[in-house]
Amino acid sequence: MLPPIYTTPPPIEAPVLSSEMPVAQGEPQIEEAISPAKQEESNSQAKPTQQEITVDDALHIRANTISDDLVDGKLICEGEVELNYGLTKLKANRIVLDRTEQKGTAEGLVQIIDPEGIIQCSDLEFFWKDAGSDADTSEDRLVATGRNAFIKIDRVLIQAATLEIIERMPDRTPEWILGEVKFSFSDMEPRGTRFRARRIRLYPGKYGLAEKPGIDLFGWRLGPIPEYTFNLDKRVSGFKLPSLADRRGAGFGITWDSSFLLNDKTGVGAAVNIFPGLGPSGELFISHSPLDPEVNPFSLKPRSDLDERYRRSWFENVIVDDPEAYFAFMNQRKLNYGLGTTWNFETEGRPTDSTDVSKLVELSLDHGTSFNGFGLQSTLRAQRIRPDGNTAWSDRLSLNSQLLAPVQNLGGNWNAFGMVDGIGLIGSKNQYGYVRGTLGIFGRPVDGFIIGGSYSAITQFGTPEFAFDGVPVTHSMNLRADYRKGPYTFSYLAKYDLRNSNWYDKEWEIALAAGTFEPFIVSREFPSDFRMGIRFRINSFVDRLQQRNPKREGS
């Protein structure tokens, strides 16, 4: 079986190759887009009745003509051939099947189409096993080979002289091997940025290895270096280079963080931050999840109780793109055990923030589940903590839980939601906690617009041990409006303190997409944050590579 990266495609318009990416002679080219008039004329013409056949209970084939060569044991399919094998759909001008060797040859221009990408190559050879095959599964299996491969996913173009797909045993891990690779963006000039490598090995959802990688930057050729390994696992970040960051009140400094897998279910990570006028800060953790990583690819980094508490919510953070992102997070299954230490870290979004909170040691349990439409996320912590270097250590237990009720459709494009969340802290000196209830409504009245509002009320009990344990607002109303259509993005979020009668936070984002690149500006008053930069718009491409077991829609 070809790796399950392909899904049954809806009708899509093939892109047109132009000066965006020159194609060498002999390489396959994407067919030109058909105009609606020509398409209608083509559809009106009588098409030959196609024949269908199933081979070895594994391959289903449809073609204009199907002939069986009984002497050679080969099946010859010609004319608009379409082959389905498991999750793979393949189109070619002519396919010859050798049932004795369970080998197929797709001749001419071969297409494999995905809702988010188009893959073409010349003369593809593939191998299959029938549904009842008892062949030895302890040896690696060659799945397919091809040449002059051309892949377009999202805005990313990949050309490879050779393509080889292998199924590695015993866990049937797919390995893609691409030879003489060129990697570029569809909306850039031919002499723009292009990455290249002698060979790339991809293990979807795990990692990739590039041999002799280099870069062509506006006519300048840099590299190559011997090899480069890159991470494709959502649960860890892999190795990251240090970066320059700006912290309000401190200026520019250096930040670094990376995380790695020790095995398929255990990860380790570290972070270091250095800013002028502040002491260095850092953290170190190890975590383990017993859940299947192919089904639950969540981050192995333990959740932090120092971050902004509701930073994932569309109603609380202008950076979040849509309401559904938070609801998906709330319904995610998760089970993660963590052990870590933290030094001189800052808090975010508290009544009084601290810049040098330390945890000598922290044991944590992150748990997430969904039931009957409800989503529940909880974190239990046992920690030895202090708010600054001049205060004694304090031992305490912490429980943070959030319960989301099923989202209700109000009719049309309008929806309502409700949730309850809270925090409980039991320490050696005192106890503190709060319960918050939230009701919200959001909708898409016209194409491109999302508007919504929410109301939250908090009941507190006990006394906060540290200033950052408390809440800044007990009764609030949040209003948000987004416009996202074409290359344009504008978002505005305002939060009103009903007790003190003031707008305590105003946030906005402006972005203008220019093909692959998207310059943006984000401003937030509370917590204070200002960002300006450029984003790469290749999310679909990255998501595909990070999936271990992509499934065809509707399967």
Same domain, 331 and 437: yes
Inside any domain, residue 1: no
Alpha-carbon distance of 34 to 51, in angstroms, equals 26
Would you place residue 7 in the very low, low, confident or very high pLDDT band (cuts 50, 70, 90)? very low
More confidently predicted of 8 and 484:
484
Inside any domain, residue 8: no
| Mean pLDDT across 100-122 | 76
Inside any domain, residue 434: yes
Q: How many residues does the chain have?
A: 555
- 360 sits in which H/E element: strand 357-371
- 544 sits in which H/E element: helix 539-546
The H-assigned helical ranges of 358-439 are none
Give residue 266's identity as a one-letter amino acid code: T
192 pLDDT more than 70: no
Same domain, 355 and 469: yes
Buried b (16+ CB within 10 A) or exposed e, 126-139: bbbeeeeeeeeeee
Same domain, 429 and 343: yes
Same domain, 319 and 181: no
Closest to 111 (Cα-Cα) out of 97, 93, 127:
93
Residue 288 has φ and ψ, to the nearest 5°, of -145, 140
More confidently predicted of 27 and 348:
348
Alpha-carbon distance of 497 to 524, in angstroms, equals 16
CB 145 within 8 A of CB 163: yes
Tokens of 331: 């319904």
| Mean pLDDT across 397-422 | 97
- Calculate the average pLDDT of the chain: 84
CB 306 within 8 A of CB 343: no
Give residue 465's identity as a one-letter amino acid code: E
Q: How far is CA 470 from CA 131, 276, 347, 434, 463, in A?
A: 61, 29, 12, 9, 9
More confidently predicted of 247 and 527:
527
Closest to 231 (Cα-Cα) out of 243, 220, 241:
241
Alpha-carbon distance of 111 to 120, in angstroms, equals 5
Residue 130: predicted pLDDT: 56
| Mean pLDDT across 197-214 | 90
Alpha-carbon distance of 517 to 508, in angstroms, equals 20
Inside any domain, residue 92: yes
- Select the highest-mean-pLDDT range: 141-150, 242-251, 517-526: 517-526
Task: Give the Cβ contact number of residue 190 at 10 Å.
Answer: 11
Same domain, 112 and 224: yes
Same domain, 219 and 320: no
Give the torsion through C-alpha atoms of 10, 16, 21, 27, to 10 deg: 80
Tokens of 379: 């974190």
| Mean pLDDT across 475-489 | 96
Same domain, 224 and 310: no
pLDDT (tens digit per residue) in 421-463: 999 999 988 899 999 999 999 999 999 999 999 999 999 999 9
| Mean pLDDT across 89-113 | 85
pLDDT (tens digit per residue) in 209-257: 999 999 887 778 888 899 988 888 889 998 888 988 877 777 889 999 9
Which of these three, 181, 213, 231, is where a domain ends? Answer: 231
Same domain, 206 and 76: yes
Give the torsion through C-alpha atoms of 405, 407, 410, 413, to 10 deg: 160
Same domain, 208 and 348: no
Inside any domain, residue 272: no
Closest to 504 (Cα-Cα) out of 256, 322, 316:
316
What total of structural domains would you count in the chain? 2
Which of these three, 231, 253, 284, is where a domain ends? Answer: 231
- Rg over CA atoms, the chain: 28
DSSP 468: G
More confidently predicted of 14 and 452:
452
159: buried, middle or exposed (CB in 10 Å: 19+, 13-18, 0-12)?
Answer: buried
Residue 70: predicted pLDDT: 75
Residue 231: predicted pLDDT: 86
279 pLDDT more than 60: yes
Tokens of 486: 């074409």
Inside any domain, residue 374: yes
Would you place residue 60 in the very low, low, confident or very high pLDDT band (cuts 50, 70, 90)? confident
Domain assignment of residue 471, given as a range: 302-546
Span of 65-74, 132-141, 462-471 with lowest mean pLDDT: 132-141
* Cis peptide preceding 527, ω within 30 of 0: yes
Which of these three, 231, 261, 289, is where a domain ends? Answer: 231
Closest to 246 (Cα-Cα) out of 275, 219, 221:
275
Alpha-carbon distance of 492 to 506, in angstroms, equals 8
Inside any domain, residue 44: yes
Whether the model pTM is above 0.85: no
Same domain, 403 and 537: yes
CB 185 within 8 A of CB 534: no
Helix (H, G, I), strand (E, B) or coil at 229: strand
Residue 29: predicted pLDDT: 42
Alpha-carbon distance of 144 to 104, in angstroms, equals 9
Span of 26-35, 217-226, 278-287, 377-386 with lowest mean pLDDT: 26-35
Would you place residue 115 in the very low, low, confident or very high pLDDT band (cuts 50, 70, 90)? very low
Same domain, 222 and 115: yes
Would you place residue 12 in the very low, low, confident or very high pLDDT band (cuts 50, 70, 90)? very low
**Unique residue bearing structure tokens 């691409």:** 178
Same domain, 227 and 316: no
Would you place residue 86 in the very low, low, confident or very high pLDDT band (cuts 50, 70, 90)? low
Inside any domain, residue 185: yes
Q: CA 30, 33, 39, 41 torsion: positive or negative?
A: negative
CB 261 within 8 A of CB 267: yes
